A and B are shown apart, each in its own frame.
Chain A
Amino acid sequence: MFRRLLFLCLIWLALRPAWAEGVIHLILSDSGVAYQEASEAFRADIGARATVKVWTLAELGAEQAQNLSRVAKILVPVGVKAARFVAEHHIGQAPVLALMIPRAASEKLQWPTSLGRRKISAIYIDQPPSRSLGLAAAAFPAARRVGLVISPENAAVAKDLLKEATLRNLRLTVETINSADDVAAALRRVLQDSDVLLLVPDAIAINAGNAQNVLLTTYRFRTPVIGFSQGLSKAGAVASVYSSPKQIGQQGAQFVHRMEEDGELPMPQHAGEFSVVFNPHVARSLGVALPNETEVRRKLGARLE
C-alpha cells in the first residue's frame, strides 16, 4: 500500500504542471542581458523557499497565460511587454508584481476590475523625484534652475518633480512637447534658463534615436546633464542615478516574502536600491567639481554597502 502511495506521489510530482499552485512565474519581456540579470537576482533571493519558473514572452501563449493567472502563486512580469501581456490575459486571481517597468507605463496598464488592488504591485525602473533632484542638488550645489523636457506621458512625473523642486528651493522649468520635431526648440528654450538639465525617460523627449543630439546641444550650452541610466552617463551625462536589474530583481524577491507574510503585496514603488554614476571626463570639461560619491549616496538616502 505504502509503496503504491509513494509511486502515485512520484507520478504526481513528475506530471505536476509547471503552472501549478505555489509556483512563482517570472515572465521576461525578452531574453536580453538585463532581463537575465533581474531574473537571476530574483531567483537567488527566493532561494529554495519556492519554485520559480522562468518564461520569456515568446514562449508563452495567450491560453497558458490565462491558466497561469488562475493557478500561479504570483506572476512576475519583467518589463513593459510582459506586464502588458499579463494584464491583457489575466482572468484569475493570481497576484501580479511587475518589475523593471517605467512608472508611466505601469499606470497605464488595465487590470481586471475583479483583481484586488493589493494583488497588483510594481517596482519601477525609474527614480523617484527626491532621488533625481537630490542628485542634482548634491552634484551641483550652486545650481538653482533645473530644466526638464517631457512629453505629455510624463505629466504626472513632472508634477511630482515640481513638488519636490519646491521643497528643495529649486526652480524647475518644464517644457512639454508633443512631437519629436519640437525637441530641439524646447531644449533650446530650457537650456537658456537652466543650470542643469534633468533627463527623465520619455519616448519622445529623449531616446536612443536623439540622445546624441540632446547631449551635443547641452554640451554646446555648457549645461551639465543628470541622466537616468549608465548608458547616458557613458554617452555624456555628467551624473546618473539608476537602479540596476539586479537591484530590482532582489527587491522583487523581498516583495514576494512580504506577500507571504502579510498576505498582500506592498504598494507599487520605486526601487529602494540604486547606484550613482558620474562621467568625470565631461564633468572636468565643463569645469564641474564632482562631490564624493559616498557622500552623494548618503545624501540620497542609500544604504551603505
Chain B
Amino acid sequence: MVKWRLRFLAISLLLAPTTGSMAQELSEADFFAELPEVLTASRLSQPLMDAPNSVTVLDRKLIEATGYRNLSDLFRLVPGMYVGQEKGWFHNVSLHLADSFARRMQVLIDGRSVYLPSFGGVRWDALPLAIEDIERIEVVRGSNAASFGANSFTGVINIITRHPEDVAGRMLHLSGGDHAHQEGWFRWAGQGGAASHRITLGRREDGGLINQFDDERSDILNYRGDYALGGGESLSIQLGYLQGERGSGDSITLSDLPHDQHVKSYSLQVDYRRMLSGDREWMLKASLDHLLTREVSPAAFPPVLPAGSYSLLDLLSRRWHVESQLNSEHAAGLRSSVGAYLRRDQVQSDYYFNVADTLSADSWGVFGHLEWRIAPEWLANMGAFLEGYDTVGTRLSPRLTLHWQPSSRHAWRLGMSRAYRNPALLETYITTIKDFLGPNGVSLGLPPTQPYFVAAGPVDPEVLLSQELGYLGKWPEHGLDLDVRIFNEKISDLIDASCTSPATRTCSGIFPINPRRFDNIGGAGQKGIEGQLKWQPSALTGVIVNYAAMDIDSGINDKRYSPSQQYGLHVMHEFSGGLDMTLSHYWLPAFNPIGQGDLHGYKRLDARLAKRFRLDGSNGQIALVWQNLTDDYIEFSDDKLPNGTPYNLFDSRFQVNFQLEF
C-alpha cells in the first residue's frame, strides 16, 4: 500500500532461515530474553486505516473459497470493479472507466508493474503465475498516481506472491470441467541453507465462450528464490515463463478468419533489500517483462483475397525497469518514503505501427511520500510523483489526505489528488495497415487501404482530479468491518478511438473508409459511493456485501463508462467434517465501456462446495465449482452471429478441482 506497498515482500525476504538452532532447556531466561524489535515501523505495512486510499484485500482464504481458476474473476470480489470477458481468454478488469483493454489501472506483481506498454492494461491470460502461488491481493480503489505513478489512474492492483517457506513441500493441483477446461499444476518449494526456493509448473487449457473461436492453452513456469544474505540484506529473484496458443479471429471477418495466436511471455525480477541503521530500509529492484504474440491471420475474400491468403499480426511489447526506494522513520509518527525509477518501454509490430523498427519510449520518475501523525487522532499523508515520459513530457501527480481516527475502531479520511494516464504506445503510434500475402507467401500487392486505426499525432495524457471521503469502521465484538468511499472524480482528456468522420462517428466495414483515431475526446464527471461490509458472525461463517453506485455526467454521446450500480454478495461457511461452501451472487446493469457498444447487464450466481481431507499426513481437497448457475448472459461484447445469436454468451459451467499438498 502506498509507498510502503513493498513491505510484505520486505518481511518475506528478511525471513532468515535459521530455524535449526539447538534446543535448550526452558528457563525463566526465555521470559526476559532481550529480543530484537522484529516488526519495526519501517517493516510494518501501512495499516488500512492510515492508508491514503480505500483498499480491498483479497486474502488467501477468500481466493481459495471462490474456486475461481481465472485470476481476473477474483476481482469480482472488489466493490465497484467490473470484470468482463471479451473472449474466453481476454479479460477486462476495470475500476470505473471500463474499456476493452482496461488501461486505467496499474497492476503489480510483488511491486513489479505488468502494465503493457503496447495496448496498456494487462494481458491477464499471459501472466506466468499460478493462483496457488498468490498470498493476497490488495486492490487500491481510487487514484494512486502519487505513490505508483502515471496509469495508477482509477486504481491499483497489487498481487503478492507466496514466500517459498510458506509453501514448503509439494503441491499437485488438477482441474477439469465444462468447455474442455483442464489444468494441471505441480509446485515444489523448499529450503537450502540461507535460501528458499519455489518452482511451479503448470498447463492450462480452456475452450472459451460458446460461440467464439477463443480456446486457450498455456504452459507456465514460475520460480521464486529468496536469499538471506545476512547483515540485514536480502535478495529475491523471480522468473516467469509462459507459452501457448489463443484462438483468435472469427468466421465473419473475412480478413481475419479463425487462427491461433502464439503467445510467449517471460519476466525477470530482482529485488535487493537492506536494513540500514536508524530504522531505515533501502530497496533496489530491476525487472524485465516481455510479451510476444505471433499471429498468421488467414483471409479469404475472392477474388481480391484468394483462399490461403493471410496477414501477419505479430506484436512485441517489452518493459525494462529499475527502481530504488528508501523508507525511513524519522521520529515517532513521522515516516517517509522516497525513490526514483528509470524505465524503457519498447514495442514492435509491422502491422500495428506500419514500421519494421522497434519503437521506444523512455520515462523517469521521482517520488516522495510523508506520513505524519500530527496528533494521536490525526494523521496526514502527503505525496507526489514527478514523471517525465518521452511522448507527453513531464507531469506532477500530487496527493494529500487527512485522517481523523477518534478511536482504533473508526477512521475518517478526506483526500484530494491528481492523476495522469499516459497514452499507451499503441494510442500514440498506431497505424494499422494490413499487408495481405498470397498462399505462396508473397505480398498480393493490394493498393494500400485506409488504415483501420491511425494515430492522431500527439495525444495528451488523461487527467483525473479526485476528491474523496473514506470511512473505515470496526465492531470486533460483532465481527463487523465497514469500508465506505464517497468520491467525486473529474476526468478530462479521455482518450478513445473515435471515427474520423465527424458526420457519422461510426466506422464499419471490412476495409473502413473512415479509420478510427485515438484522440482526446472529452471528459466526464463521476460522483458515487462504494463500499464493503464484512460480517463474520463466527469463525466458520463469513459474509461480504459489496455495493457501488455512480452518477456519471459525460458530455460524450451520453455514454456511461461504468455501471450505474453494482452489487455482490458472498457467503462462506465451514461445515463440520471439513466441508466448505461458498455462494457468490453478482448483479450489474447495462453500460457502455469506452470504445464499445452497449453492454448488457447481468445477474450471476457462483457456488463452490469443497471437502478437505487428510491423507497420510498430507492436506487435500476436492472442490466442485459452478459458475453462473442462473441464465446465460452476454459478456462484454454485444456482437452477434449472422443468425442473430449473441457471440459472447456465458453459459452455466461446472468444474472439479483437486488439490493435494504433500
Contacts and interface: CB of A to CB of B under 8 A. Distances in A.
B375 interface: no
A102 B26 contact: yes
Given A180-B23, A208-B30, A220-B163, A284 B50 contact: yes
Contact of B49 (A144, A204, A209, A287): A287
Interface residues of B, number: 58
Contacts of A100: 28
Interface in A24-40: 29, 32-34
B36 interface: yes
A166 interface: no
A203 B479 contact: no
A210 B18 contact: yes
A229 interface: yes
Interface stretch (B40-48, B295-303, B551-559): B40-48
B11 A219 contact: yes
Contact of B538 (A81, A144, A212, A279): A144
B14 A184 contact: no
Contacts of B356: none
A259 B400 CA distance: 66
A141 B28 contact: no
A216 B14 contact: yes
Contact of B31 (A142, A201, A222, A283): A201
B166 interface: yes
Contacts of B407: 289
B408 A141 contact: no
A95 B538 CA distance: 50
Interface stretch (A11-19, A56-64, A231-239): A231-239
B45 A285 contact: yes
Contacts of B166: 188, 217, 220-221
Given A143-B539, A203-B26, A216-B15, A210 B21 contact: yes
Nearest to A286: B47
Contacts of B16: 212-213
Contacts of B23: 151, 179-180, 203-204
A235 B39 contact: yes
Given A184-B168, A222-B59, A141 B477 contact: yes
Nearest to B191: A184
A89 interface: no
Nearest to A207: B30
Contacts of A102: 26-28, 30-31
A283 B36 contact: no
B135 interface: yes
Interface string A190-225: 000001000001111011111111011101111000
A27 to B, nearest CB: 14
A171 B574 CA distance: 14
A235 B539 contact: no
A174 interface: no
A153 B8 CA distance: 34
A290 interface: yes
A180 B46 CA distance: 32
A219 B26 contact: no
A104 interface: yes
B36 A235 contact: yes
B357 interface: no
A144 B542 CA distance: 13
A299 interface: no
Given A34-B32, A220-B11, A220-B166, A212 B38 contact: yes
B476 interface: yes
Contact of B12 (A140, A220, A231, A281): A220
B536 interface: yes
A2 to B, nearest CB: 52
Contacts of A184: 17, 19, 165, 168, 191
A274 interface: no
A180 B21 CA distance: 6
B15 A217 contact: yes
B476 A140 contact: yes
A211 B38 contact: yes
Contact of B47 (A217, A232, A284): A284
Nearest to B536: A142
A100 B36 CA distance: 23
Contacts of B536: 142
A41 interface: no
A185 B168 contact: yes
A202 B31 contact: no
B25 interface: yes
A284 B44 CA distance: 9
A228 interface: yes
A54 interface: no
Interface in A84-135: 100-102, 104-105, 125-126
Given A216-B14, A235-B37, A285 B135 contact: no
A272 B325 CA distance: 49
A293 B410 CA distance: 18
Interface in A238-294: 242, 245, 279-290
B25 A105 contact: yes
Contacts of B11: 216, 219-220
Contacts of B540: 144
B474 interface: yes
Contact of B408 (A195, A217, A290): A290
B34 interface: yes
Contacts of B14: 216
Given A141-B476, A183-B19, A229 B33 contact: yes
Contacts of B163: 220
Given A140-B476, A235-B39, A180 B20 contact: yes
Contacts of A147: none
A181 B19 contact: yes
Contacts of B35: 208, 211-212, 231-232, 234-235
Contact of A289 (B15, B22, B409): B409
A284 B39 CA distance: 12
A220 B26 contact: no
Interface in B65-118: none
Contacts of A70: none
B24 interface: yes
Contact of B28 (A125, A153, A179, A189): A125
Interface in B527-541: 536, 538-540
A117 to B, nearest CB: 23
Nearest to A100: B28
B135 A220 contact: yes
Output the residue of B19, B36, B536 with the most chain A CB within 10 A: B19
16 contacts: A34-B32, A79-B28, A102-B26, A125-B28, A142-B479, A171-B539, A184-B17, A207-B24, A210-B18, A210-B21, A216-B12, A220-B8, A229-B31, A285-B44, A285-B47, A289-B408
**Which 3 residue pairs of A and B lie closest in terms of their CB atoms, listed nearest first?**
A144-B539, A209-B21, A236-B39
Interface of B: 8, 11-12, 14-39, 41, 44-50, 59, 135-136, 163, 165-166, 168-169, 191, 407-409, 474, 476-477, 479, 536, 538-540, 619
